[in-house]
Structures are given as C-alpha cells and as structure tokens.
Amino acid sequence: MEAEGMLSDGSVRDKYLAEAANVISANCTVDGIACDVSSTEVLREPFFSAKLLRLIGILSEFRLQRDMKCIIFVNRIVTARSLSYILQNLKNLPSWKCGFLVGVHSGLKSMSRKTMNNILEQFRTGKLNLLVATKVGEEGLDIQTCCLVIRFDLPETVASFIQSRGRARMPQSEYAFLVNSDNQNERDLIESFQEDEQRMNIEISCRTTDEKFDSPEESVYKVETSGACISSGYSISLLYHYCAKLPRDEFFNPKPEFYYLNDLEGTVCQIILPSNAPLHQIISAPHSCMEAAKKDACLKAIEQLHKLGALNNFLLPERGSLEEELAEEDCIEPEAEQGSRELHEMLIPTILKESWTSTEDVVLLSSYYIEFHPVPEDRTYKKFGLFVKTPLPQDAASMELDLHLARGRYVATKLVPSRMSAFNRDEIVQAQNFQEMFFKVILDRSELTSGFVHLGKNGFSKSSPTFYLLLPVILDGCGNEVLVDWDIIRTCLSSPVFRSPGDMKVEEDPISDTHLLLANGRKKITDVENSLVYAPYKKIFYFITNVIPGKNGFSPHKGSEPPSHMEHLTTTNNIDLKYPKQPLLRAKPLFQLHNLLHNRIKEKSEYLELDEYFIDLAPELCELKIVGFSKDIGSSISLLPSIMHRLQNLLVAIELKGLLSASFSEGAEITANRVLEALTTENCQERLSLERLEILGDAFLKFAVGRRLFLMDDLLDEGELTNKRSNAVNNSNLFKLAVRSNLQVYIRDQPFDPFQFFALGHPCKVICTEESEAAVHNVSRSSVDNPNSEMRCSKNHHWLHKKTMADAVEALVGGFIVDSGFKAAAAFLRWIGIKVEFGESQVTEICAASSRYMPLAASVNIATLEKSLGYSFHHKGLLLQAFLHPSYNKHGGGCYQRLEFLGDAVMDYLITSYLFSVYPKMKPGHLTDLRSALVNNRAFANVAVARSFHKFLISDSSALSEAIEAYVDFVQAPAKEGGFREGPRCPKALGDVVESCMGAILLDTGFDLNHVWKLVLSFLDPIMKCPNLKLNYVRELRELCQSYNWVLEFESSKKGRAFSVEAKVSSKDVSLSASACYSNKKEATMIASQKVFANLRAQGHGQKSNSLEQVLKHSNKEEAKLIGFDETPVDIATADACEPRGRVYDPQHYSLKRVGDRTPPPCSSSSSTKSQPSIALRASAVIHQRSARTRLYEVCTANCWNPPLFDCCFEEGPSHLKSFVFKVTVEIEDSQSMTLECFGNSHTRKKVAAESAAEAALWYLKHEGYVL
C-alpha cells in the first residue's frame, strides 16, 4: 500500500473496488456459467493476488504447446467458479478454453450429472482444454492427454495429493503447487505428503510391520438370488441415492429426514422418507450412539425397500423393467426403437392364390360384375367382370371404390356378385391369353412393336402369385347376370400380331372404299376402327375410333389454314406420303398407367369435365396391332390394376379379421374396412391411412396399461409407473409383439406402383429364393429408405420400418375402439400379449384405503371444493389425496402423484376422443398438434386457476405458494391488447392437481368414464374458446419459413437462471428478429417464435399451406363423443362400507372425547381439555417389534409434538420388593391445546412400569383417531 504514494486508505479502497468490479461481474454470484463482461486488463496487485498472477504466468508459458490440457484443483466451489470466469475472459490467454467442474450435490442447479458428463466429454474431445475442478475431479477422471496439473489450493490429505497428481497421464507431465514463499506451514505440508507417500511405497513393496487394523464389524444385508450385499455404513448413501431417484419438481426435493430419540436402552433413529416413497418411516433398534442408530435404520430401510420392490435384486432403484409383464425372451434390443427397416414378406390373399389346372375339362369360376360410374359422365367404359376360383367373402364381394382421375374427376366402382361361370379347356386358354394380351398393352407394350407376339408360350404359369381373370362381359337381358364377351376376346386374339408370319395372307390390292393401306398391309376399314395401332415414326400406340371420310393428306393440318397434313409431315418428320388421298384416322394416344388410389380430390372442390384428346393420323404410317381393342376397353383396363390392388389389400384385411375372430370372440366386431385402414400407412398415399386410428389407439393403450399398473401395485411411485408403462407401450415392445403375432405380413406400406403389378399373365420376373434373397435385396441404404425404389420379387418382399409395425398395433387398437369399444380393444391387447385386465376388488380397496387422508379434512373445505369441481365424492379421502403436494409430509406418507399419473392417462384419452369426434376430417398431423395445445401443463394450470383449485392445495413449501400466487395474479390480470405477456413461470403443481382430480374422480366412480367425460367437456370449453390457444409456434414458424425458402436461426444464451432466445428470419426480402427471456429455454424459444410469426403475418406473409390456426378456424365441427366406452363401472360400495375397521371420520366435525366416556383401558388416563385433532398419524408398518415407548416417541415425532415425558409418580414397599407407577405426559398441539396424562400399572421394574404407561397413552391415541 505504501508504494501507491500518498493515496488515502479510502481512495485506494474505492479504486480497488471500482476496478475489481470490472473483473468480477455480478453474474459470477448467480447459478450459471454464462457471462458477458469484458476481458480483464488490470493484471497486477492488489487487484489480483500473487498466487493468481503466478497461475496466469504458468498458463502463459504452456499456452503454445500443442494439444495442451490442464486441470487446476481448488478446494471451494466459489473459487472454481470465480477462477474459471476470470481465466476464460483474459485477453492474453485466448488459446485456453476454460470450464469448471463441481459435484452434482454442490447446490448448483446448473451442475446436473448430465452437465457434468458433458463438460468431461468436451474436455476429452478438446472443446475445452482447461478445467478448474474441486476434489470431485480427483477420482475417476481418466483423461489420457492431460499433461499439466496445478494445485491452486493445497490438498488436505495425502490421498488427495496422490489422486490429483494421477490426473496427469501423459509422459513428461507437470504437477505444480502454488505455495506462498513465506508460508513455512504450506511447505512443510507438501514435504509431509511426500514422506507419507514414500513410506506407503516402501510398505507396499516390502512389509516392514505386523500392525493390523481392526475395523468395527458392520451389519450386512445380502440378496441371496444375486449375491448383492450392502453394509450399514454404505446404506446411508444408497438411501440418499434412492430418494434422489423419486419423482421431484422444483419445489420438492425428496430426501430422508432423520430424528433421534433417547430411549432408556440407548439412542433410537427414526427415518421419515419422502411422501412419495412406498415406505414412510423406519425405526432403528437402540444403540450407544447416534451414528450407529442411523446406520441401523438405513440398513433396515434398504432391506424393506428391496422387499417392497423399490430396489431391484442388485439393490439399485428399480426403473424401466417389465418384469412380470413380459418374459425375458420377449424383451428386444434398444436398436428396435431406431428407424431401421427389416425385410418382410407381404401376404397374398389365400382366395386369389387358389388356382385351376390345365387338365380340367370344365373350370367353374365365381363371377363378379365390375360397375363403372364416371363422374362426370364424360367417358364410356367397356363392361368387365372378375372371375375367381373361390367365392369372395361378403365384405369383398360388394367392395366399393372411388378411383381418382385428373381435374377432380373420378370413377365410382363396385363389385356385384353374379352366377358361376363355366369355362371349357379352349375358353380358359383364350381367357388367359386375353388377360396376358391386355397386360402387355398396359404394362409391357414394348413387345407389341414387333411383327409377332406369342401368347401363352409359357403355358399355365404356376409361378403366378394370383389366379383370377379380368374379362370383358355383357349383361343378360335382365341385367342381372354377366356373360363373357367371347366375340371381343376372339376378335382381339385373331389380330395379325398374334398370328405367325406363315399364317398371314398378303393382300396387294389397291385402296378401295372398304380397305385401307397401312404400314403392315391392306386392312379392312372395319378392322381398323375401334382397334389399337402403332405409329413407328412417333413410337406411340393409338386407339383408332373411326375413319374420317372427308379428311385426307391434303386437308389443312389445323383448322382451315395451311399447311396440309402432308406438308406438315414433310416439314416436321421428313416423311412423304405415298397415299395422301387415303382418309385420315381419328386416334387417341394410349394412356400411361397411373395409381388411381391417390387422393386427388381437394376438400370442397368441384369436378371439371375433361375433353378427350384426339389427333389425325395417316393410315400408311400406322401398323394395325390388335383388332377390336377399342378405347372403351382401354379406359376400363386402365382402372383394373388399381381395383385389384385394393381388392387384394381388402382380402388381406379380411384374413386378419378371420384370424382375430378365431382367436377371441370380440375379433368379429371390427369391420374389414377398419382393419384395412389400420394396416395402410400414410406412405401408401391413399384416402385411408392408419394415423388417425393410431392416435386414438395410442391414447387408449397408455390409459389401459397405466390403469392396470396403478391398480396392481400401490407401492409404485409415479416415476416407476411411467417407466413400466413406457416399457409396455413403447415402439420397441410393440414391434416385438407384432412380429411374434406375424402382423407384419398384413401391413401395406408402399404406394401402388402399376408397373410392379403382377398377376396371371404378367408374372414377376425377379425370382427370389432363400439362396438368392440376399442378392436380390442387397440394395443401398438410400434405396431402402426410399420405398419407391424398392425391387419387387416373386415372394412379395418389402422393407418395413420397425416403428411402422408398432404403429399398426396401435391403429388396430384404435380400430377396435371405433367399431366396437373398450372391451374388444382390451381383448385384442390380451391376444397380442399386453395385459390390461384388473380386478374390481383392487378398485374398492384403493377407495377404502383413501380414508387414511381424512384427518386432513380439517384443513380443506370439502364442500366448497366439490362445488368448484362439479362433483361430489363418495370417498372424500381421494379428493384430499388429489390436492396433497409431495412437499407435505406430516400425515404418514402419500401425495397426489399416483393419482396424477392415472388422471394424465384418462385426460389424454378423453381429449383425444374429443378431437377425434369433433374434427373427423382433420389430418393426423394437425390432430396431434391440437392435442398438444390442449394436453399440456399450462392449459391445465389455467383450468386450476379458473376454478380456484390453488386455494385448496395442501403443501409445505413457501416457494411453491409464492410461485402459484404470482402466476395466479398474472393469469387474472387483464391482457394487454396486441402485446405479448411472458409472465412468470407456470408452477407444474397447478396442472398436476387437475390431472390428479380426474384420477380421483375416475376411481370414485368405479372407472365410469362418462362422469369424467362431462367434467373434461366443461374444462375444454373455455380452452377451445380461448383466442390465445397455445399453438406450437416454433413449428408454425418453421413451416412458414420453409414455404418461402427463408433462413430461420435461433440463438440462445443463459443469463443467470433465465434463458434468452433470439429468433432470426433472413432472406433477400425479409430480415426480422425477436427475442424472449424466460426461465425455461423451450418456453423462451416458443415466445420468440410467436413474436416473429405474428410480425410476419402482420406484414402479409401467410403460409402457402394452411396453418393449424387456419385449419381450426375453417374445420367443420361435429358433436363431441366419448368413443368406445362400453365397460361396466365397478360397483363402489358406500363410503361407510369402504372405511377400514376402526374409526369413521366425519370431515365436518369430530371431537376427541375424554377417556371417561369410553370403556376404560387396562390402566387409567386423564386429559385436561377437549380438542379436534388436526392430523392423525398414518405410520407405516414396522417390521420388527418395538417397545411401546419407542412407538409413542414415533407418534409424537410424526405429528410434530414435543417428546413424551415419563415420570415415576409413585413407589411403595421395602427396598427389595419396591414397586413403581409411571405417568406419561403428551402435549397434543392442535388449535386448542390438550395435555394427555396416562398412568401405568404398578410394577417392580421401572422399565416395565414406563412401558405400561406408554401402552395406556397409545391406547387412548388409537381410539381417538391419532393412530390408525
């Protein structure tokens, strides 16, 4: 200080503080690592200590070394944070990228285990090369490339000295201590560490002493099945670890609480576990000290938690195991959750595979007329029929299908059953040849360009996947029966292209009125009309409708203006007509085959007529190919592949329905069309898909499985219930169950490709066998991911996503719900291997057990709460439990979390049912987004505020009360017009209590969803009418930017405990940004996106596709329905019958009577005044027998009363026969004070006399409701 000249102490202090403030910002004092102060420049004393300056010097010396990594060890958390902050802001150390590492129990919310592992990974990969760590980094930090370790603070033990040095793993690493040169104690400490280490090394290499260390024996609990064991000493940390895994929120941190009682035999430790643990309290045996009692109690707690199933056989918290739900062999690998595909064979309908033989003299086939009704009627279609060996099932025999053409036009088709048709040998061959012929025309027309095509050269093909015939037909006189149009078939098959050259007669006569000269010879005009020709100069096939008598090669090409047809051909094609006087042919180009199952009709659009396109052709430029093959036949056969593809899929669905019906009776209750919908994915691009059914089935599956888990084991906490349900309903398990049930062969997952349509007459040329399967389907990953590039083989293999198979299971569940109900859906789930059944007694037992919460009725106005809720409970205890926050733990355990789990599941299903029924035409993506907007904590929290549920919440957290109060004030404050209200963070407890209420009502009604449905409708009505319905603005903004090819970026930073997110949209024409600050990063991103989205909309930039908001505004709404509920509610007994034996609580008024009003106990007692009890102890069962005094201490501790006082009030008799009488005094702290005094019987031993008094007090408390 003297070196600074004549400055006063005050000026030096002021200067120091001013400059130091620039170095250490206020951000260092909050929980976070983000900082925005400028780099430091004042690197001298007194603003920086000599130790810190020396550290900076060391880092400067090593900064230029390649791949340098350094760890600095300090002893305090604040030192680690401050030092890291300073080092990362020094301008002269830019090469060092610094972070800090402290323990997960340091009290910093930002330092979670995930954050800690992330920091270590960054240090390993080189994103960070300087780490400031506390002693948490001394062990287990295996950084092979660390070459510099600095002890900023000296180690406290020799173990710390050795372990921290061991972090320097590189050869020629450096280990440095920062020691004050004038501090001899620090220098001596280092020398002492070195001497101790040398002694340890000598002792290890050659033992020099026979000293033994006798450790005190500790009790051990061992699991015989696994061999896992734990000592009483380590049981303390395990108990903390177990509690840390329990469900928590920001206002509830589950951890054990320890209380110590001085018993006559020693110290007793009582452990009170968190309210959501399956075990509420444990009492140790008396021990000589508090530490021993604590270990004993913890070991007993671990034993009991293991026996209850809360700890697995390895004594670890049980999370995520199916156990009894699925056998071990049914569990699948985690990779099944990934988007990988597997090769599976698609089922071909058995009916269509049944063939006839070529040796049969007469073949009888079932016939079906295919009706065509074009809308509008702008085309003519030749009548066709379907002929199969086995009659079609009723659902398929009358199949109706709309085929979609261009410009909104469509053809309504329908199958109409007809009589059996008989085919002789020649007819069956002709029919097969005709089918082969028209498949060549529409699928493989390249063969028809040659002069001769051989039909039936392979004879009767057994390799065909299906056996059916599609033939032109005529109706009989009554129009009820179909007859094969053999005239057309034989005319077509007699065409020159199907006759060998030796059988053809060459006619060289000149042109006449009845003949034309074509490129392949002289043909009759009657043969040319309504036939198929080929124009080699255009390489196109044409349907010829008629000959144009008044038009020839000299006629104008277009209208009445030159050039003529002949001149046009000469100019454009360099062709000179030899016979220009021949009349021209009116021709329609042969169509390209299309998938007509696509949905080309837009909602509310009108169809438009489309004129047919014709051109005029010179006959001498055309080759006659198929006589009698008119455009009307062509129009019909263009529809047939799409019809047969849908029929095959429908027959597959019917086969699956038959399998389900044979397996369980409810399987017959679902329609074949619904099964088909559940088997058809969105990739098929048809008017039906499984996605809407999947959404409904997914919601029911979670509800049904969650309900069973909730009822089967009342010891499972919310986290365990969620994990077990997830294991049962996740895609991985559903995929395994689908494959086990062989459902994958029924699923349709590719759009119909007409050019890979195979049938009799057009078999697949890619033959797939077990030996060639790998080679046939050995495609690149890119082609596997693109279903349109798949190669179809003779075995009908296709690639399926594992998730697709899981989706199909959920869609089938949804199909059963829509067509039949819950019972049928549950039967299907049982068939596939998911258990959802439960017993009625389980429901009644849980309702009866809820009476344990009745002592809390004094703190809640139940009548007012029921009025606000709109439901009157039979079991008031369920209502009280529904409002019991886990932070409250003065009642013997239990909270609303399990009811919240049940309520969340039923709310999810009911809201899904609401949306499914109200918006029947809404796309699945919009349906999912809308459900997310309704099923979220903020929406439920607003319902809680509107109904004043927060006033009845029972909690023991002042922070929660303050957060709720702030949020309620924000919600109830009038909204600013046009402004964004970020407001305080929504406490999760507000939304949770709505879900727990629904769970409580569901139980109280015996799972009668109709009651809950009415309440959900009343909840949804204000939410749906809210103009600020919380949409997913992040998604809306992304879709808007994608439609305009704008660049969207999000930049986030953390300032203290809040996140700041800036959303930027940029392009050539648009540059816009907005920011938001919130305690939650996801919420901040949502608010920023909402601001930008609103600004873009205000500037006139609307989405090219309808947003969810627009869809919701213009969607037609129908009446809301509860879909599928057909279960019989459980008959819940009356409240009196459900109460456990003992006292029945009246929530309005119940007083504590004097002992004199009852039958006296074995010993006397007295009370000083009457009182209403506020809380009754609901003690967990204690496994080992305890003394009455210990149990009385336990009662007082649980109720937060003062410890009982024992006093020897009377003794008599000689010294060797003296007897004693003890009195115990218990102060019951209620709204009115009451002191209970109980006297025991006379005994010769003081201990027994005190026990007698304690038993008297316990008897009284039990009969007055303080002990259940």
In angstroms, rounded to a whole number, what is the distance separating the alpha carbons of residues 179 and 185?
Answer: 10
What is the side-by-side order of every strand in the sheet holding 1071-1078?
1047-1055, 1058-1066, 1071-1078
In angstroms, rounded to a whole number, what is the distance separating the alpha carbons of residues 1154 and 1141?
Answer: 21
| CA trace torsion 921, 924, 925, 926 (10° rounding) | 40
What is the side-by-side order of every strand in the sheet holding 384-388?
400-404, 410-424, 362-375, 384-388, 468-475, 482-484
Q: What are phi and psi of 428, to 5 degrees?
A: -65, -35
Write out the two tokens for 365. 């086939």
List of E strands, 29-167: 70-73, 98-101, 130-133, 148-151
Is residue 904 part of the annotated active site? The answer reads yes
Q: What are phi and psi of 474, to 5 degrees?
A: -130, 155
The string of DSSP letters for 408-427 reads G-EEEEEEEEEEEEEEEHHH
Count CB-CB contacts under 10 A for residue 254. 21
Q: How far is CA 818 from the centre of its chain?
A: 22
Count CB-CB contacts under 10 A for residue 249. 16
In angstroms, rounded to a whole number, what is the distance separating the alpha carbons of residues 212 and 196?
Answer: 18
Radius of gyration of the chain from its Cα atoms, rounded to whole angstroms: 43
Of the residues 904, 992, 1237, 1251, which is catalytic?
904
DSSP at 874: S
Collapsed DSSP state (helix, strand, coil) of residue 141? coil
Collapsed DSSP state (helix, strand, coil) of residue 176? strand
Write out the two tokens for 336. 């099944």
Contact 632, 399 (CB under 8 A): no
Q: Where are the alpha helices (DSSP H) in 513-564?
A: 525-528
Contact 325, 727 (CB under 8 A): yes
Instruction: Give the residue from 541, 539, 565, 538 showing the smallest Cα distance to 551.
Output: 565
Q: How far is CA 1132 from the centre of its chain?
A: 34
The string of DSSP letters for 295-313 reads HHHHHHHHHHHHHTTSB-T
Of the residues 995, 1062, 1237, 1255, which is catalytic?
995
Is residue 995 part of the annotated active site? The answer reads yes
Instruction: Give the residue from 989, 356, 924 showing the smallest Cα distance to 677.
Output: 924
Q: How far is CA 411 from the centre of its chain?
A: 40
Greatest Cα-to-Cα distance within the chain, rounded to the nearest angstrom: 156
The string of DSSP letters for 1032-1064 reads -HHHHHHHHHHHHT-EEEEEEEEETTEEEEEEE
In angstroms, rounded to a whole number, what is the distance separating the alpha carbons of residues 429 and 431?
Answer: 5
Q: Would you call the peptide bond into 510 cis, given omega within 30 degrees of 0 as the criterion?
A: no
The string of DSSP letters for 1076-1126 reads EEESSHHHHHHHHHHHHHHHHHHTT---SS--HHHHHHHPPP------S--
Write out the two tokens for 501. 């050259």
Instruction: Give the residue from 644, 633, 371 showing the smallest Cα distance to 487.
Output: 633
Count CB-CB contacts under 10 A for residue 1099. 10
Instruction: Give the residue from 854, 839, 905 showing the smallest Cα distance to 1131.
Output: 839
Catalytic center residues: 904, 995
